[in-house]
Protein backbone atom coordinates (compact mmCIF):
# COMPACT_ATOMS: atom_id res chain seq x y z
CA UNK A 1 0.00 0.00 0.00
CA UNK A 2 1.01 3.59 -0.50
CA UNK A 3 1.49 6.10 2.26
CA UNK A 4 3.91 8.91 2.75
CA UNK A 5 2.65 10.40 -0.55
CA UNK A 6 0.60 13.29 0.71
CA UNK A 7 -2.70 14.00 -0.94
CA UNK A 8 -3.15 10.76 -2.89
CA UNK A 9 -6.66 10.18 -1.56
CA UNK A 10 -8.73 7.60 -3.42
CA UNK A 11 -6.64 7.83 -6.60
CA UNK A 12 -3.52 6.74 -4.75
CA UNK A 13 -5.57 4.07 -3.02
CA UNK A 14 -6.70 2.61 -6.35
CA UNK A 15 -3.15 2.14 -7.48
CA UNK A 16 -2.11 0.62 -4.18
CA UNK A 17 -4.81 -1.99 -4.60
CA UNK A 18 -4.00 -2.71 -7.50
CA UNK A 19 22.51 -14.55 -14.20
CA UNK A 20 22.75 -16.50 -15.82
CA UNK A 21 25.18 -19.11 -14.37
CA UNK A 22 25.91 -22.59 -15.65
CA UNK A 23 25.94 -25.53 -13.31
CA UNK A 24 26.05 -29.30 -13.43
CA UNK A 25 23.17 -31.18 -11.80
CA UNK A 26 25.49 -34.17 -11.58
CA UNK A 27 28.83 -35.06 -13.14
CA UNK A 28 26.99 -35.79 -16.39
CA UNK A 29 23.99 -33.50 -16.35
CA UNK A 30 24.13 -29.85 -17.42
CA UNK A 31 21.72 -26.94 -17.06
CA UNK A 32 21.62 -23.14 -17.17
CA UNK A 33 20.07 -21.63 -14.03
CA UNK A 34 17.75 -18.67 -13.64
CA UNK A 35 15.74 -17.53 -10.60
CA UNK A 36 12.00 -17.02 -10.27
CA UNK A 37 10.03 -14.50 -8.20
CA UNK A 38 6.57 -12.95 -8.31
CA UNK A 39 7.84 -9.48 -7.43
CA UNK A 40 10.09 -7.03 -9.26
CA UNK A 41 11.96 -4.45 -7.18
CA UNK A 42 13.15 -1.13 -8.60
CA UNK A 43 15.08 0.93 -6.04
CA UNK A 44 16.40 4.50 -5.87
CA UNK A 45 14.50 5.81 -8.89
CA UNK A 46 15.07 9.43 -9.79
CA UNK A 47 12.07 11.73 -9.31
CA UNK A 48 13.53 14.50 -11.45
CA UNK A 49 10.74 14.11 -14.05
CA UNK A 50 7.97 13.36 -11.56
CA UNK A 51 6.29 10.32 -10.10
CA UNK A 52 4.54 9.17 -13.26
CA UNK A 53 7.76 9.08 -15.26
CA UNK A 54 9.61 7.22 -12.50
CA UNK A 55 6.90 4.58 -12.11
CA UNK A 56 6.58 4.10 -15.85
CA UNK A 57 10.35 3.70 -16.19
CA UNK A 58 10.31 1.05 -13.45
CA UNK A 59 7.38 -0.72 -15.10
CA UNK A 60 9.31 -1.11 -18.34
CA UNK A 61 12.30 -2.43 -16.41
CA UNK A 62 9.98 -5.06 -14.95
CA UNK A 63 8.52 -5.72 -18.40
CA UNK A 64 11.96 -6.24 -19.91
CA UNK A 65 12.70 -8.73 -17.15
CA UNK A 66 9.72 -10.93 -18.09
CA UNK A 67 9.25 -10.33 -21.81
CA UNK A 68 10.49 -11.87 -25.01
CA UNK A 69 12.05 -9.11 -27.06
CA UNK A 70 12.00 -5.35 -26.61
CA UNK A 71 9.01 -3.50 -25.14
CA UNK A 72 10.32 -0.05 -26.13
CA UNK A 73 7.63 0.50 -28.77
CA UNK A 74 4.73 -0.68 -26.61
CA UNK A 75 2.60 2.32 -25.60
CA UNK A 76 0.91 1.61 -22.26
CA UNK A 77 -1.50 3.91 -20.46
CA UNK A 78 -0.53 5.21 -17.04
CA UNK A 79 -3.56 3.60 -15.36
CA UNK A 80 -2.48 0.17 -16.64
CA UNK A 81 1.06 0.79 -15.44
CA UNK A 82 -0.15 1.61 -11.93
CA UNK A 83 -2.42 -1.47 -11.89
CA UNK A 84 0.71 -3.61 -11.57
CA UNK A 85 2.19 -1.65 -8.66
CA UNK A 86 2.38 -3.46 -5.33
CA UNK A 87 3.95 -0.63 -3.34
CA UNK A 88 5.69 2.73 -3.66
CA UNK A 89 8.08 4.11 -1.07
CA UNK A 90 9.96 7.38 -0.73
CA UNK A 91 13.49 6.72 0.48
CA UNK A 92 15.96 9.58 0.95
CA UNK A 93 14.48 11.58 -1.91
CA UNK A 94 14.32 8.59 -4.24
CA UNK A 95 11.47 6.25 -5.13
CA UNK A 96 11.43 2.52 -4.42
CA UNK A 97 8.80 0.60 -6.37
CA UNK A 98 7.61 -3.00 -6.24
CA UNK A 99 5.62 -4.59 -9.07
CA UNK A 100 3.62 -7.81 -9.22
CA UNK A 101 5.17 -9.59 -12.20
CA UNK A 102 1.98 -11.56 -12.85
CA UNK A 103 0.11 -8.27 -13.25
CA UNK A 104 2.90 -6.82 -15.39
CA UNK A 105 2.55 -9.87 -17.63
CA UNK A 106 -1.22 -9.38 -17.79
CA UNK A 107 -0.76 -5.75 -18.85
CA UNK A 108 1.73 -6.75 -21.54
CA UNK A 109 -0.70 -9.39 -22.79
CA UNK A 110 -3.43 -6.74 -22.96
CA UNK A 111 -1.25 -4.67 -25.29
CA UNK A 112 -0.24 -7.60 -27.45
CA UNK A 113 3.30 -7.96 -26.07
CA UNK A 114 4.57 -11.43 -25.23
CA UNK A 115 5.30 -11.88 -21.55
CA UNK A 116 7.52 -14.68 -20.34
CA UNK A 117 8.47 -15.16 -16.71
CA UNK A 118 10.70 -18.12 -17.32
CA UNK A 119 10.48 -21.78 -16.41
CA UNK A 120 11.37 -22.91 -12.91
CA UNK A 121 12.31 -26.51 -13.75
CA UNK A 122 14.85 -27.57 -16.38
CA UNK A 123 13.93 -29.29 -19.66
CA UNK A 124 15.59 -32.59 -20.52
CA UNK A 125 17.27 -32.56 -23.93
CA UNK A 126 17.93 -35.69 -25.94
CA UNK A 127 20.41 -34.56 -28.60
CA UNK A 128 22.11 -36.73 -31.19
CA UNK A 129 24.93 -35.11 -33.19
CA UNK A 130 26.58 -36.64 -36.23
CA UNK A 131 29.18 -35.76 -38.86
CA UNK A 132 32.03 -37.39 -40.77
CA UNK A 133 30.21 -40.75 -40.74
CA UNK A 134 29.98 -40.93 -36.95
CA UNK A 135 27.59 -39.71 -34.29
CA UNK A 136 26.72 -39.86 -30.61
CA UNK A 137 24.37 -38.57 -27.97
CA UNK A 138 25.30 -35.42 -26.07
CA UNK A 139 25.67 -35.89 -22.33
CA UNK A 140 28.16 -34.60 -19.78
CA UNK A 141 30.65 -33.17 -22.30
CA UNK A 142 28.72 -30.61 -24.30
CA UNK A 143 29.47 -29.97 -27.94
CA UNK A 144 29.82 -26.42 -29.28
CA UNK A 145 26.26 -26.53 -30.62
CA UNK A 146 24.86 -27.87 -27.34
CA UNK A 147 26.64 -25.10 -25.40
CA UNK A 148 25.24 -22.46 -27.76
CA UNK A 149 21.75 -23.94 -27.45
CA UNK A 150 21.95 -24.04 -23.65
CA UNK A 151 23.33 -20.51 -23.50
CA UNK A 152 20.50 -19.13 -25.63
CA UNK A 153 17.94 -21.04 -23.56
CA UNK A 154 19.40 -19.45 -20.43
CA UNK A 155 19.13 -16.00 -22.04
CA UNK A 156 15.48 -16.78 -22.73
CA UNK A 157 14.81 -17.70 -19.09
CA UNK A 158 14.66 -21.47 -19.08
CA UNK A 159 17.22 -24.15 -18.41
CA UNK A 160 18.36 -27.21 -20.29
CA UNK A 161 19.44 -30.48 -18.74
CA UNK A 162 21.23 -33.22 -20.63
CA UNK A 163 20.89 -36.90 -19.70
CA UNK A 164 23.38 -38.96 -17.75
CA UNK A 165 23.68 -41.45 -20.62
CA UNK A 166 24.10 -44.32 -18.21
CA UNK A 167 23.03 -47.88 -19.03
CA UNK A 168 19.36 -47.12 -18.41
CA UNK A 169 19.41 -44.16 -20.81
CA UNK A 170 21.35 -46.01 -23.49
CA UNK A 171 18.87 -48.89 -23.41
CA UNK A 172 15.86 -46.56 -23.45
CA UNK A 173 16.80 -44.08 -26.17
CA UNK A 174 18.66 -45.05 -29.34
CA UNK A 175 19.32 -43.35 -32.66
CA UNK A 176 16.25 -45.11 -34.05
CA UNK A 177 14.20 -43.57 -31.23
CA UNK A 178 15.31 -40.13 -32.40
CA UNK A 179 15.08 -40.84 -36.14
CA UNK A 180 11.50 -42.11 -35.84
CA UNK A 181 10.54 -39.44 -33.30
CA UNK A 182 9.24 -42.10 -30.92
CA UNK A 183 7.48 -39.75 -28.45
CA UNK A 184 6.40 -42.56 -26.16
CA UNK A 185 9.95 -43.86 -25.66
CA UNK A 186 11.34 -40.34 -25.16
CA UNK A 187 8.75 -39.43 -22.55
CA UNK A 188 9.19 -42.74 -20.74
CA UNK A 189 12.98 -42.31 -20.62
CA UNK A 190 12.58 -38.72 -19.37
CA UNK A 191 10.40 -39.56 -16.37
CA UNK A 192 13.41 -40.30 -14.21
CA UNK A 193 14.50 -36.67 -14.66
CA UNK A 194 11.17 -35.29 -13.42
CA UNK A 195 10.70 -32.67 -16.15
CA UNK A 196 7.45 -31.41 -17.63
CA UNK A 197 8.90 -30.95 -21.11
CA UNK A 198 11.23 -32.90 -23.39
CA UNK A 199 13.34 -31.64 -26.30
CA UNK A 200 14.42 -34.12 -28.97
CA UNK A 201 17.07 -32.77 -31.33
CA UNK A 202 18.97 -34.47 -34.19
CA UNK A 203 21.92 -32.45 -35.51
CA UNK A 204 23.98 -33.34 -38.59
CA UNK A 205 27.14 -31.38 -39.39
CA UNK A 206 27.42 -30.82 -43.16
CA UNK A 207 30.51 -30.54 -45.30
CA UNK A 208 29.92 -26.82 -46.00
CA UNK A 209 30.11 -25.97 -42.29
CA UNK A 210 26.36 -25.61 -41.79
CA UNK A 211 24.15 -28.05 -39.91
CA UNK A 212 20.83 -29.68 -40.56
CA UNK A 213 18.58 -29.91 -37.56
CA UNK A 214 15.35 -31.59 -36.57
CA UNK A 215 13.96 -30.33 -33.28
CA UNK A 216 10.80 -31.15 -31.33
CA UNK A 217 9.35 -29.98 -28.02
CA UNK A 218 7.10 -32.47 -26.23
CA UNK A 219 5.05 -32.21 -23.08
CA UNK A 220 5.23 -34.93 -20.44
CA UNK A 221 2.36 -36.79 -22.15
CA UNK A 222 4.21 -36.95 -25.46
CA UNK A 223 2.18 -34.26 -27.24
CA UNK A 224 4.25 -32.36 -29.81
CA UNK A 225 4.14 -28.66 -28.89
CA UNK A 226 6.69 -27.46 -31.44
CA UNK A 227 8.74 -28.92 -34.28
CA UNK A 228 11.23 -27.59 -36.80
CA UNK A 229 13.49 -28.98 -39.51
CA UNK A 230 15.99 -26.88 -41.47
CA UNK A 231 19.55 -26.09 -42.50
CA UNK A 232 21.74 -23.15 -41.50
CA UNK A 233 24.60 -21.83 -39.41
CA UNK A 234 24.97 -23.60 -36.08
CA UNK A 235 24.98 -20.51 -33.82
CA UNK A 236 22.01 -18.96 -35.62
CA UNK A 237 19.93 -22.14 -35.43
CA UNK A 238 20.80 -22.67 -31.76
CA UNK A 239 19.60 -19.15 -30.95
CA UNK A 240 16.50 -19.32 -33.13
CA UNK A 241 15.38 -22.68 -31.78
CA UNK A 242 15.86 -21.61 -28.15
CA UNK A 243 13.82 -18.45 -28.78
CA UNK A 244 11.08 -20.35 -30.62
CA UNK A 245 10.76 -22.83 -27.76
CA UNK A 246 10.59 -19.93 -25.28
CA UNK A 247 7.73 -18.49 -27.34
CA UNK A 248 5.78 -21.75 -27.11
CA UNK A 249 6.40 -22.04 -23.37
CA UNK A 250 5.36 -18.41 -22.93
CA UNK A 251 2.04 -19.07 -24.66
CA UNK A 252 1.42 -22.04 -22.38
CA UNK A 253 2.28 -19.94 -19.33
CA UNK A 254 -0.06 -17.15 -20.39
CA UNK A 255 -2.89 -19.63 -20.82
CA UNK A 256 -2.40 -20.83 -17.25
CA UNK A 257 -2.08 -17.46 -15.53
CA UNK A 258 -4.67 -17.27 -12.78
CA UNK A 259 -3.91 -13.63 -12.16
CA UNK A 260 -4.79 -12.67 -15.70
CA UNK A 261 -8.09 -14.48 -15.34
CA UNK A 262 -8.78 -12.68 -12.07
CA UNK A 263 -8.09 -9.29 -13.66
CA UNK A 264 -10.37 -10.12 -16.59
CA UNK A 265 -13.18 -11.14 -14.22
CA UNK A 266 -12.88 -8.92 -11.12
CA UNK A 267 -16.50 -9.28 -9.98
CA UNK A 268 -16.45 -13.00 -9.23
CA UNK A 269 -17.50 -12.86 -5.59
CA UNK A 270 -17.67 -15.44 -2.83
CA UNK A 271 -15.43 -18.39 -2.06
CA UNK A 272 -12.00 -18.52 -3.72
CA UNK A 273 -10.01 -21.29 -2.07
CA UNK A 274 -8.34 -19.74 0.98
CA UNK A 275 -10.12 -16.39 0.78
CA UNK A 276 -13.56 -14.87 0.31
CA UNK A 277 -13.94 -12.10 -2.27
CA UNK A 278 -16.21 -9.16 -1.43
CA UNK A 279 -17.33 -6.05 -3.28
CA UNK A 280 -17.47 -2.96 -1.08
CA UNK A 281 -18.95 0.45 -1.79
CA UNK A 282 -18.24 3.48 0.39
CA UNK A 283 -14.55 2.71 0.94
CA UNK A 284 -13.08 6.01 -0.19
CA UNK A 285 -9.54 5.98 1.14
CA UNK A 286 -7.01 4.01 3.16
CA UNK A 287 -8.52 5.10 6.48
CA UNK A 288 -11.82 3.52 5.45
CA UNK A 289 -10.06 0.27 4.59
CA UNK A 290 -8.38 0.20 7.99
CA UNK A 291 -11.76 0.91 9.61
CA UNK A 292 -13.30 -1.95 7.62
CA UNK A 293 -10.66 -4.35 8.95
CA UNK A 294 -11.43 -3.23 12.51
CA UNK A 295 -15.15 -3.74 11.94
CA UNK A 296 -14.49 -7.28 10.74
CA UNK A 297 -12.51 -8.00 13.88
CA UNK A 298 -15.27 -6.43 15.99
CA UNK A 299 -17.95 -8.78 14.60
CA UNK A 300 -15.77 -11.83 15.16
CA UNK A 301 -14.23 -12.25 11.71
CA UNK A 302 -10.52 -12.90 12.06
CA UNK A 303 -8.40 -12.78 8.93
CA UNK A 304 -6.18 -10.65 6.74
CA UNK A 305 -7.67 -8.35 4.13
CA UNK A 306 -6.08 -7.41 0.81
CA UNK A 307 -7.43 -5.16 -1.90
CA UNK A 308 -7.63 -7.00 -5.22
CA UNK A 309 -8.73 -4.14 -7.48
CA UNK A 310 -11.07 -1.23 -7.99
CA UNK A 311 -14.10 -1.96 -10.14
CA UNK A 312 -15.56 0.40 -12.70
CA UNK A 313 -18.62 0.88 -10.50
CA UNK A 314 -16.61 2.82 -7.88
CA UNK A 315 -16.46 -0.18 -5.59
CA UNK A 316 -13.39 -2.01 -4.40
CA UNK A 317 -12.87 -5.75 -4.56
CA UNK A 318 -11.26 -7.16 -1.41
CA UNK A 319 -10.07 -10.62 -0.51
CA UNK A 320 -10.68 -11.67 3.09
CA UNK A 321 -8.33 -14.50 4.07
CA UNK A 322 -10.24 -16.34 6.76
CA UNK A 323 -11.13 -19.86 7.85
CA UNK A 324 -14.71 -18.74 8.41
CA UNK A 325 -17.28 -20.36 6.16
CA UNK A 326 -18.13 -17.96 3.27
CA UNK A 327 -21.86 -18.16 4.02
CA UNK A 328 -21.18 -17.32 7.68
CA UNK A 329 -19.07 -14.32 6.67
CA UNK A 330 -21.82 -13.10 4.36
CA UNK A 331 -24.37 -13.52 7.15
CA UNK A 332 -22.21 -11.70 9.70
CA UNK A 333 -21.86 -8.69 7.41
CA UNK A 334 -25.58 -8.72 6.61
CA UNK A 335 -26.54 -8.49 10.28
CA UNK A 336 -24.02 -5.78 11.12
CA UNK A 337 -25.24 -2.18 11.30
CA UNK A 338 -21.97 -1.11 9.71
CA UNK A 339 -23.05 -2.41 6.30
CA UNK A 340 -26.00 -2.40 3.93
CA UNK A 341 -26.29 -5.54 1.83
CA UNK A 342 -26.67 -5.03 -1.91
CA UNK A 343 -26.37 -8.63 -3.07
CA UNK A 344 -24.57 -11.75 -1.83
CA UNK A 345 -20.99 -10.77 -0.91
CA UNK A 346 -21.57 -7.15 -1.98
CA UNK A 347 -22.05 -4.42 0.65
CA UNK A 348 -22.05 -0.69 1.17
CA UNK A 349 -19.96 0.52 4.11
CA UNK A 350 -22.23 2.93 5.98
CA UNK A 351 -19.54 4.97 7.71
CA UNK A 352 -17.11 5.76 4.92
CA UNK A 353 -15.41 9.17 5.02
CA UNK A 354 -15.76 11.74 2.28
CA UNK A 355 -13.52 11.35 -0.73
CA UNK A 356 -10.45 13.46 -0.25
CA UNK A 357 -10.46 14.85 -3.77
CA UNK A 358 -13.62 13.78 -5.60
CA UNK A 359 -12.83 15.56 -8.85
CA UNK A 360 -9.77 13.31 -9.35
CA UNK A 361 -10.50 9.67 -10.15
CA UNK A 362 -7.14 8.36 -11.31
CA UNK A 363 -3.43 8.92 -11.07
CA UNK A 364 -2.10 10.66 -14.17
CA UNK A 365 -0.06 13.62 -15.30
CA UNK A 366 0.71 16.32 -12.74
CA UNK A 367 -1.55 19.36 -12.89
CA UNK A 368 -2.80 22.21 -10.74
CA UNK A 369 -5.50 19.88 -9.41
CA UNK A 370 -3.08 17.02 -8.88
CA UNK A 371 0.31 18.44 -7.97
CA UNK A 372 1.40 15.49 -5.86
CA UNK A 373 2.08 13.25 -8.85
CA UNK A 374 5.07 15.46 -9.58
CA UNK A 375 7.06 15.11 -6.41
CA UNK A 376 10.18 16.81 -7.73
CA UNK A 377 10.82 19.64 -10.17
CA UNK A 378 14.59 19.30 -10.05
CA UNK A 379 17.12 17.02 -8.46
CA UNK A 380 17.71 19.54 -5.67
CA UNK A 381 14.10 20.52 -5.09
CA UNK A 382 12.30 17.63 -3.48
CA UNK A 383 8.96 17.96 -1.77
CA UNK A 384 9.29 17.65 2.01
CA UNK A 385 6.80 15.17 3.40
CA UNK A 386 5.56 15.28 7.01
CA UNK A 387 7.85 13.67 9.54
CA UNK A 388 4.97 11.50 10.71
CA UNK A 389 4.55 9.85 7.29
CA UNK A 390 5.32 6.16 7.41
CA UNK A 391 7.32 4.21 4.85
CA UNK A 392 4.27 2.42 3.52
Instruction: Quote the percentage of the chain above a pLDDT of 70.
Output: 73
Give 133 or 175, the one with higher predicted confidence. Answer: 175
Among 202-206, 231-235, 261-265, the minimum mean pLDDT is found in: 261-265
Reply yes or no on whether the pLDDT at 190 is more than 90. Answer: yes
Domains of the chain by start residue, with CATH = 123-255 (3.40.50), 267-349 (3.30.70)
How many Å separate Cα 41 from the centre of its chain?
A: 13
Reduce the DSSP state of residue 55 to 3 states and report it.
helix
Helices of type H across the chain: 9-17, 51-65, 78-82, 101-110, 144-155, 167-172, 175-179, 183-190, 234-255, 258-264, 286-298, 326-334
Q: 121 versus 287: which is more confidently predicted?
A: 121
d(C-alpha 358, C-alpha 275), whole Å? 31
pLDDT at 42 over 60: yes
pLDDT confidence of 148, banded at 50, 70, 90? very high
Residue 274 pLDDT greater than 90, yes or no: no
Give residue 7's pLDDT: 31
What is the distance between the alpha carbons of residues 53 and 36, in angstroms, rounded to a whole number? 27
Taking only the tens place, the pLDDT of each residue in 60-85 is 888 877 776 656 667 888 888 988 89
Q: Is the pTM of this model over 0.85?
A: no
Per-residue pLDDT reduced to its tens digit, 191-223: 999 999 999 999 999 999 999 999 999 999 999
pLDDT score of 391 more than 50: no
Q: Which pLDDT belongs to residue 177? A: 93
3-state SS class at 254: helix
pLDDT (tens digit per residue) in 158-171? 999 999 999 999 99
Please state the rounded mean pLDDT for residues 102-120.
79
Amino acid sequence: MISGLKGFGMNGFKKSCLSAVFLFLSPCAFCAAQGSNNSFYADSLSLRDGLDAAVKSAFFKAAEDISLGSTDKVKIKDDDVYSAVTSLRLNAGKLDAVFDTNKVAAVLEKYGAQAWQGLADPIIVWMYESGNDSGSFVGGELTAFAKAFAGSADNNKYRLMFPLLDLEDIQSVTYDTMATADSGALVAASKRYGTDFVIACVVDHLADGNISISCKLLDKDGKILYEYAGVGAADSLADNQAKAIAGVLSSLQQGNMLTAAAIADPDTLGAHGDFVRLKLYGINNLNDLVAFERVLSGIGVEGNVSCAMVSDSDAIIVNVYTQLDPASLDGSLEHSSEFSKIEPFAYSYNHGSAKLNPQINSIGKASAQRPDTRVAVSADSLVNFPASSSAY
